[in-house]
């Protein structure tokens, strides 16, 4: 397994993949670690999470540089990602005990009834390369706080990040084997999922990968949480605050070099605002600096791999062939490495690739609509349902439109983002389940009903089983 700098093509490091015996030993170690970790008082688990946050902040430049070199993230954004990982650790260090406390539910007058939230065991996280620290920590922080142990199968192009994350927990004082990185290929994942010692699987990745993992895990009767792709609509109504909207539109499409599931991809603009939006959007996309992701002034770095850029350009070409017009960009840059320019497509047919497929790079498809109703209809005309945003001066109108979106995360006058305090996830082909907040920490737990009878019941109705 090789780590390669996408901006230069330089091989950074070569890693030896573990053998089948190594993976078996890791699963056994995880099972053993769960026995003691699940019994560790939650107050101590919270303390260690806070310590992990301190490790991250102490090493923010080191880990940011690692992301820059392994997957091409602009360095300022990489530092922000490390800081966000520290935030999620702090959040659960503060809130996990409250979120996992017994929930007393009234029932029979002669009984004390409650729900207890208890850990289930080793959980496998299959994670992508585009946010190589954040997407792991938003899984690890709540699950370690809950008393589960983690096994990470990271993307094959960010093995250094995988081992660095394991290092964070080790150096923060977590017991050995409570979090392990398995530098294995996708062909090994099936064996891990099938193993009786594994109790759950979470995946962030493509729709195809999600279907494969969910199908196998379902056959094994194991809980899954899936966060898959997206084709998020960015709806600009006729009364949108234009300067703010344009600023956020550029950020929403090009952050992380455009490689984000929750990036705005389809810009749906009311006819009365269309010309002003397109003119301003194209100008701002043209002004972005594309180049070395280690340079502080770079806005957009390379695509993570050559093949990903080629796939993106193919989508642009097929969209143009279908009738779309390139307003800016549209051709790979003559730079060493897979650099693609910020690109705006207008007059995009609704059956074109840029309208129906997820474009994983800095390519924006702009659509003109006549009214609010058409905007909502087009926003929902997709198999995906991860995020959506609407832009308007009228906040009541914005909230009403947001409630019409078929998506898991809907925003008014803000770009779609994840926040430790709020549940995150999608619907339709964007997956199911939730990460973060109280909802996320309760995904991989046994929600155990406990009934303590104090005296004779008041009714025989509850005695009817099933």
Active site members: 227, 261
Angle at 33 between CA 27 and CA 34, to 5 degrees: 90
**What secondary structure does DSSP assign to 132-196, as a single string?**
TTHHHHHHHHHHHHHT-EEEEE--TT-HHHHHHHHHHHHHTTPPTTSEEE----HHHHHHHHHST
- The Cα 437–Cα 425 span in angstroms is 11
Radius of gyration (C-alpha) of the chain in whole angstroms = 24
Terminal Cα distance for the chain, rounded: 52
List strand residue ranges (DSSP E) for 221-356, in order: 223-227, 232-236, 264-270, 325-328, 343-346
Q: 183: left (phi > 0), else alpha (psi -120 to 50), else beta?
A: beta
Q: Is 437 helix (H, G, I), strand (E, B) or coil?
A: helix
Q: Is 418 helix (H, G, I), strand (E, B) or coil?
A: coil
Supply 83's token pair: 């800081």
Kind of pairing between the strands at 387-391 and 409-412? parallel
Kind of pairing between the strands at 325-328 and 343-346? antiparallel
Distance of alpha carbon 319 from the chain centroid? 27
CB 40 within 8 A of CB 147: yes
CB 442 within 8 A of CB 397: no
Kind of pairing between the strands at 363-369 and 343-346? parallel
β partners of residue 412:
390
Please choose, from the candidates 294, 363, 332, 333, the residue with its C-alpha nearest in 3D space to the C-alpha of residue 71: 294
- The Cα 425–Cα 127 span in angstroms is 15
Distance of alpha carbon 321 from the chain centroid? 32
β partners of residue 371:
none
Q: Is 284 helix (H, G, I), strand (E, B) or coil?
A: helix
- The Cα 180–Cα 178 span in angstroms is 7
């Amino acid at each position: 397994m090789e780590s390669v700098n996408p901006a230069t093509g330089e091989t950074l490091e070569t890693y030896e993949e573990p053998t089948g015996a190594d993976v078996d030993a890791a699963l056994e170690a995880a099972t053993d670690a769960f026995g003691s970790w699940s019994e560790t008082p939650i107050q101590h688990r919270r303390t260690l999470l806070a310590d992990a946050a301190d490790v991250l902040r102490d090493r923010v430049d080191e880990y940011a540089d690692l992301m820059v070199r392994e997957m091409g993230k602009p360095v300022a954004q990489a530092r922000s990602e490390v800081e966000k990982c520290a935030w999620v650790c702090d959040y659960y260090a503060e809130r996990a005990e409250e979120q996992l406390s017994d929930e007393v539910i009234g029932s029979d007058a002669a009984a004390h009834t409650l729900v207890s939230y208890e850990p289930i065991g080793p959980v496998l996280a299959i994670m992508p390369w585009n946010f190589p620290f954040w997407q792991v920590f938003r899984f690890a922080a709540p699950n370690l706080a809950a008393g589960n142990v983690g096994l990470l199968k990271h993307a094959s192009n960010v093995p250094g990040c995988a081992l660095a994350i394991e290092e964070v927990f080790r150096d923060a004082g977590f017991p050995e084997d409570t979090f392990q990185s398995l530098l294995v290929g996708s062909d090994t994942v099936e064996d891990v999922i099938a193993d009786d010692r594994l109790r759950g699987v979470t995946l962030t990745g493509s729709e195809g990968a999600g279907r494969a993992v969910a199908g196998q895990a379902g056959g094994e009767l194991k809980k899954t949480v899936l966060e898959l792709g997206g084709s998020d609509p960015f709806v600009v109504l006729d009364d949108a605050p234009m300067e703010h909207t344009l600023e956020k539109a550029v950020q929403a499409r090009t952050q992380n070099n455009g490689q984000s599931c929750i990036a705005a991809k389809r810009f749906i603009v009311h006819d009365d605002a269309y010309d002003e939006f397109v003119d301003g959007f194209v100008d701002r996309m043209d002004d972005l600096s594309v180049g070395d992701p280690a340079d502080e002034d770079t806005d957009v770095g390379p695509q993570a791999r050559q093949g990903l850029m080629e796939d993106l350009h193919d989508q642009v070409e097929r969209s143009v062939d279908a009738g779309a017009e390139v307003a800016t960009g549209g051709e790979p840059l003559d730079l060493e490495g897979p650099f693609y320019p910020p690109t705006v497509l207008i007059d995009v047919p609704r059956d074109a690739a840029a309208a129906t497929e997820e474009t994983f790079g800095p390519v924006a498809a702009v659509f003109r609509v006549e009214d609010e109703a058409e905007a909502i209809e087009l926003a929902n005309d997709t198999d995906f349902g991860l995020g959506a945003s609407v832009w308007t001066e009228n906040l009541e109108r914005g909230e009403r439109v947001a409630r019409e979106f078929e998506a898991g995360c809907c925003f008014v006058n803000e770009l779609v983002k994840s926040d430790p305090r709020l549940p995150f996830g999608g619907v339709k082909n964007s997956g199911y389940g939730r990460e973060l907040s109280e909802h996320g920490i309760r995904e991989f737990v046994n929600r155990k009903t406990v009934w303590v009878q104090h005296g004779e019941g008041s009714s025989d109705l509850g005695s009817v089983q099933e």
